[in-house]
Structure 1
């Protein structure tokens, strides 16, 4: 009798898990022609994508289970603000098309206008996890939705993690997106979500494409990982260089410090704005997110004229205080001697001249 009850419960749990993982929002791992292309990548080992440098998912002495248990149940100080964060609701559709600007929406979501082209990066406007009750947005940071966006020339998805690829957001945006720029394999999710395959531009590191009208995109390395379910690293992750007629912008995506910062800086010596990951770091996963002590070094080696840091101020995905990344950005500005833009969520930062608060010396 006990055995029968055990197997019945086990069967029900397995079925519930299968139904949960079978939701459309989990996407589809690459197969068919897309998988065959992936197999040709020098960064694919036959089973999964790998980083150029050996990279540990967990860097401490704790087990993955112990790390997650500590994150979920141990007391964390000031990881979530008590009150709503300041934010500005800008009418994005009325912003000038003849000026270059960037508007940050919190975490790693932002909209660029470069020589009249609208580039929307990693938009997460509904939820950053598979379930609505986890990974909630901070108060005041949820004021933008897909309907607020103008028509998008290029939707850039750096990788397929939930806090960068929001199913509801991209499905709602699809009719107003001309092209998607993303890393190898990520198009499998988008095609499953009814994006026409002709809209999807998937890149391996260092692959480049002329987009016309003096615009060009190049996929560059990142030290990270991927996966929306139990399948890890079946799709790739990347950063991107976007070159317009007027300026070059580095879209950093997620990842830890590595030799690629110097490589990118040496190959692209005229980066006007570098958009850097800064937040959700921890010593337990020190190689897949940028630790604060490396942020200034990354800025120095990339060599951009100025920086904007993202991946903070919207979600609690680590154990540091919610305001700590902003202090890191100020410190990195002093260490690198590079100015850092510090906008509020929704603030328009015009790139033709200095805008917002810029820290040349702290």
Structure 2
């Protein structure tokens, strides 16, 4: 009788473990997780000077976690540490602009919150890291702040260049890019990210997939340069199989630098020297923490990075829509003011949806 009960409980435990394993396998094999690079793309990745021991690496050694509590301790602290004003109590001020009615000859920028923004310049329309549906694998995580979720894929006009800085969920949204697929001319992304997009129905000839220090001529007068940043990548269980990047877009009239996500490093000064007279630099500001200070730009380094780029104007993003770190939600807005007042930088500080002339 006793042996029968033991067998029964053992069988139940095995069955529960099997159900959990099957559920996890099914979950991470949803289309939204994308697909790891394979075939010719993987062979190209293996030839990259930035790919070592089966993964992409940063220019310099970059510890993911820097806390003396260790990775597990730092994660526990992050999960259970309470922060005042992590999310706004009231709706964040926004403007709902009808992008379909924008005159094509106007040079403008519209920020949608976090790291999503639209640029129209010299007759071309550029959409960067659009996340209009979900910023995580599940809808109840990374919920947008009240009032910020006002733009949807259908609000976007036809796009000439879709720019994806890296494949994290808060920058590459499956539902958004699927919805835009038939209205996008070319996709500009880092090496390996194109695998996700092909898996989701984009044509190979649409993809401008670049390694750091590569460039591509897009159209007459338009050239994109793929440049380093200090970050990491991944949508599932395996990290750093696709390249994270910043991009500099040269248009007939301006130079626009899109820094993507990443901590401070020597690349800011190098880019500033290589590309003098940058008209606008778009920098990360938000979702930082001392426990991961090398992979996101800390407030103490924002002014320094901006000065090294020598850009005429600065816009900061990666804030005001999601709470992905434990700082007060409006701390990035104070960082902007400090950059303007203490660092004497020419800052653009729009509200979500505001039309900013370029």
Q: TM-score range by the shorter chain?
A: over 0.9
Equivalent residues in 2 for 1:50-199 (5 A)?
50-199=57-206
Q: Secondary structure at the match of 1:329?
A: helix
1:59–1:285 Cα contact (<8 Å) kept: yes
Q: Secondary structure at the match of 1:271?
A: coil
Q: Secondary structure at the match of 2:319?
A: coil
State the alpha-carbon separation in 1 of the partners of residues 328 and 237 from structure 2: 29
State the alpha-carbon separation in 1 of the partners of residues 71 and 11 from structure 2: 32
Q: Secondary structure at the match of 2:56?
A: coil
2:67–2:74 Cα contact (<8 Å) kept: no
Equivalent residues in 2 for 1:184-333 (5 A)?
184-333=191-340
State the alpha-carbon separation in 1 of the partners of residues 46 and 200 from structure 2: 23
State the alpha-carbon separation in 1 of the partners of residues 159 and 233 from structure 2: 25
Q: Secondary structure at the match of 1:77?
A: coil
1:39–1:46 Cα contact (<8 Å) kept: no
1:274–1:308 Cα contact (<8 Å) kept: yes
Structure 2 counterpart of 1:44, from 48, 51, 61: 51
Q: CA deviation at 1:76?
A: 1.6
2:66–2:292 Cα contact (<8 Å) kept: yes
State the alpha-carbon separation in 1 of the partners of residues 10 and 340 from structure 2: 63
Q: Which deviates more, 309-318 or 9-18?
A: 9-18
Over the aligned positions, Cα root-mean-square deviation in angstroms equals: 1.0
State the alpha-carbon separation in 2 of the partners of residues 132 and 18 from structure 1: 19
State the alpha-carbon separation in 2 of the partners of residues 46 and 150 from structure 1: 42
Superposed CA deviations along residues 27-49 of structure 1, whole A, max 9, x for unmatched, are: 00101000001111100004000
Query: Residue 345 of structure 2 corresponds to which residue in structure 1?
Result: 338
Superposed CA deviations along residues 130-161 of structure 1, whole A, max 9, x for unmatched, are: 00001100011110001000100000000000
State the alpha-carbon separation in 2 of the partners of residues 101 and 34 from structure 1: 35
State the alpha-carbon separation in 2 of the partners of residues 141 and 106 from structure 1: 7
State TM-score, norm by structure 1: 0.95
Residue 21 (1) aligns with residue 28 (2): yes
2:255–2:280 Cα contact (<8 Å) kept: yes
Larger-gyration structure (1/2): 2
2:129–2:165 Cα contact (<8 Å) kept: yes
Superposed CA deviations along residues 308-335 of structure 1, whole A, max 9, x for unmatched, are: 0000000000000000001111212334
Q: 1:269–1:335: structure 2 CA closer, same or farther, 3 Å change rule?
A: farther
Q: Secondary structure at the match of 2:144?
A: coil
Query: Which runs of no fewer than 5 residues in structure 1 stay unpaired?
Result: 352-362
Q: CA deviation at 1:73?
A: 2.6
Query: Residue 358 of structure 1 corresponds to which residue in structure 2?
Result: none
State the alpha-carbon separation in 1 of the partners of residues 71 and 185 from structure 2: 40
State the alpha-carbon separation in 2 of the partners of residues 144 and 72 from structure 1: 29
Query: Which runs of no fewer than 5 residues in structure 2 stay unpaired?
Result: 1-6
1:296–1:333 Cα contact (<8 Å) kept: no
State the alpha-carbon separation in 1 of the partners of residues 81 and 345 from structure 2: 37
Equivalenced residue count is: 351
Q: CA deviation at 1:64?
A: 2.7
State the alpha-carbon separation in 1 of the partners of residues 77 and 141 from structure 2: 16
State the alpha-carbon separation in 2 of the partners of residues 150 and 160 from structure 1: 23
State TM-score, norm by structure 2: 0.96
Q: Secondary structure at the match of 1:3?
A: helix
